[in-house]
Structure 1
């Protein structure tokens, strides 16, 4: 039975890069049932629904979601984003956010020392808790006495399951990152469960770093890391840092998955890029690699490996967009990767 893939290009750059990802999947021989849905800012402005009810019903049944980017300068991005991407993450319980960071070509690294450039790590970010759940509020808003509170939600179950996932993903070491020396309550729970889960995996090396030290170590020598596991906010920040270490946000992929239900949403991390969207210059590599993560999640391991190899070959040959040293358009870059899979 063919896997059903719900396609949500959404807004801005997403509309340009998702078709390139599908082009590459087809060139790789993917026998998938793609169905695109009308979820975007225009639809939201017409109906007031970020995701229409019938579309939501279909998304719940999909084997995976291939996502573009959400946001529009005409809208309050926070409310619209919450109604689309955060709803998908929270209500489908996609509690694992995967942010791999692999350097495909030395010339893309900003690091001076050549021996510290060749990074290949994975950030495992807790995706449904932390500061992003929206708990809190503002009191006496608009006055000089205004108070704003944003609460950091961490649960025993949520922390435990993300730590367990990280150990399962590790090749040699898991590094847990927090700020428990300052955030003593949330950090205390992370420390407690880190110690408990670590004992269950004695063959995997472990290390703990505070988030500021982790940021410094990533810039100093990212090759030292295998798997980093952390909470929602710190994972968001550190994974953008690692994206810059491999060539920028344009080539950084991500996956949002639930290992138990097998649901998954896969998206590039560059956002809608309103400054360059619609000009044919957006880098599709992040979307293509996200599609590769999607088919790997669905069990097509050889196909995923082939796509990643084609991406690396195209980048090394300079057949890519300007942000990573090439001169190709969005569609030409997609063609360059697809051609390598057909040849």
Structure 2
């Protein structure tokens, strides 16, 4: 029987509540489809930072490197600055494991009502592909003249041809695969070349080059400001959207909001070369305002687990999890409150687990 080793990092806040649900769901799907999952849990979190001064130990990346995948809950908690928590855990994992492709599906699931009036599941179904290791999220820069009226902060963005080309190629590959499954076969580029005079014209130039390599895929490009408006006004226009680290981050939060709730949003940090484990994390964050209340939506964690299983080659098990999610969303009794239901975390989780066995 095939077995997979998963490094599990529940992290902070509701991550500690929803990741166990995702584990139970993944184990149920594994039992149904004839493989096993073994979990190694790591306590890396803001609580650990408060106790030790580190989000994870110095050799943390090496500790997870030999696992088949990483399943991460959330990072961040009041009292620990966000740049400390992210640069102490999430970003080192992404960069040192070369997880350069961030993939975030946006889909209006059956049973969920979009805040956009009258929209149907057929009209909101696209994928945001985000460059994940360079771009605007750079360590290059600094601050001068602290505490004076001349204080300044300089932040450099880094766009390499290698990094830009490979994320665009990855987006075109996804669009080709989706076209073979009946989708539009279309890639939209997020840019801002009318205001950012070096990196974004370069991005546009590379997008044009990559588009010529895929003549079977239709393309469009929009400046990020109007693109956010089109996400709301015309979500049916989109199939695959590719963006830089910052633009992709923004769009992949807006997308799930259009699809009903950020509480259902999954994400994958992919190492396409498979030289290290890929990492899978819900988009919703640690949500300190509801942490510990037992009301967090576990759907994103389960959908993220489905993405993990698909990446591991267990495609049918991943489909089982996705179908179970939709079954659980059919009734308001098993939908959580952010989706207009009445359920707490536990009834929603129980519904998903029960649906896996059906």
Instruction: Say if 2:258 is the partner of 1:257.
Output: no
Match of 2:6 in 1: 5
TM-score by length of 2: 0.92
1:280 aligns to 2:294 (yes or no) = yes
Aligned partner (choices 341, 347, 351) of residue 326 of structure 1: 341
After TM superposition, the score normalised by the length of structure 1 is 0.96
1:131 to 129, 136, 139: 136
Per-residue displacement from partner, 1:62-109 (whole Å, max 9, x unpaired)? Answer: 111000001121222211221100111111111111110000136520
Aligned residue in 1 for 2:239: 226
Structure 2 counterpart of 1:314: 328
Classify 1:329/1:107 alpha carbon distance in 2 versus 1 (closer, same or farther; 3 Å): closer
Distance 2:19 2:123 in 1: 28
Question: What is residue 291 of structure 1 aligned with on the other side?
Answer: 305
Distance in 2, matches of 1:325 and 1:43, equals 35
Task: Identify unmatched segments of 5+ residues in structure 1.
Answer: none
Render the CA deviation track for 1:39-81: whole Å, top value 9, x for unaligned.
Answer: 1222222222221245432211111100000112122221122
Q: Which runs of 4+ in 1 moved over 6 A?
A: none
Describe the superposition over 1:279-321 as per-residue Cα deviations: whole angstroms up to 9, x where unpaired.
1001111111111110011111111111111111111222121
Q: Aligned runs of 1:100-249 on 2, under 5 Å?
A: 100-105=105-110, 107-114=112-119, 118-170=123-175, 171=179, 172-249=185-262
For structure 2, the 5+ residue unaligned runs are 180-184
Q: Distance in 1 between matches of 2:348 and 2:190?
A: 36
Q: Deviations 1:150-207 (Å, cap 9, x if unpaired)?
A: 1111111000000000000003101111101211210122112111111111111111
Q: State the secondary structure of the residue aligned to 2:38.
A: strand
8 Å CA contact 1:109, 1:117 repeated in 2: no
Following superposition, the deviation at residue 221 of structure 1 comes to 1.4
1:45 lines up with 2:50 in the alignment = yes
**Partners of 1:117 and 1:222 within 8 A in 2:** no
- 2:182 corresponds in structure 1 to none
The Cα RMSD (Å) is 1.5
Instruction: Measure, in 1, the Cα distance between the counterparts of 2:167 and 2:195.
Output: 22
Aligned residues: 343
